Structure 1
């Protein structure tokens, strides 16, 4: 019997990470930690531990990773 594997379309990036804690490292080496809210075309919106919502422009980001 031949079983067909359904092709799963996976979204890459942080699209599926809403609500998780992330750390964003900037091109100058500084970093910020917060909860990922959403990311429009040119920005990343996070909420810091003190409750502030911060908009970060993507061109200033070196890399982003999830904090376990």
Structure 2
């Protein structure tokens, strides 16, 4: 009686697969910033704006995020 051990794969949610795509982040106060998604950590995301600045945005300051087509 042999049992096969199945390897579980972690399922990634959110913007994990969106690296390199243009996104728009809208803040709680209504202001927004547009840039290229670089990386997302537990409490923050990193984007690069069109002007070349790299920004760290804390998730608790965001209202919503969406991908620009």
TM-score normalised per structure 2: 0.82
SS in 2 for 1:59: helix
Distance in 1 (CA, whole Å) between partners of 2:40 and 2:11 is: 17
Kindly report which structure 2 residues correspond to 1:7-46, keeping only aligned pairs within 5 A, or say none: 10-46=11-47
Superposed displacement of residue 10, structure 1: 5.0
Which is higher, the Rg of structure 1 or of structure 2? 2
* Uncovered stretches (5+) of structure 2, i.e. residues with no partner: 1-9
Report the aligned-residue RMSD: 1.4
Q: Which stretches in structure 1 are left out of the alignment for 5+ residues?
A: 1-8
State the TM-score, normalized to the length of structure 1: 0.83
Q: Figure out how many residues of one structure are paired with residues of the other and give that number.
A: 61
* TM superposition shift of 1:45: 0.2
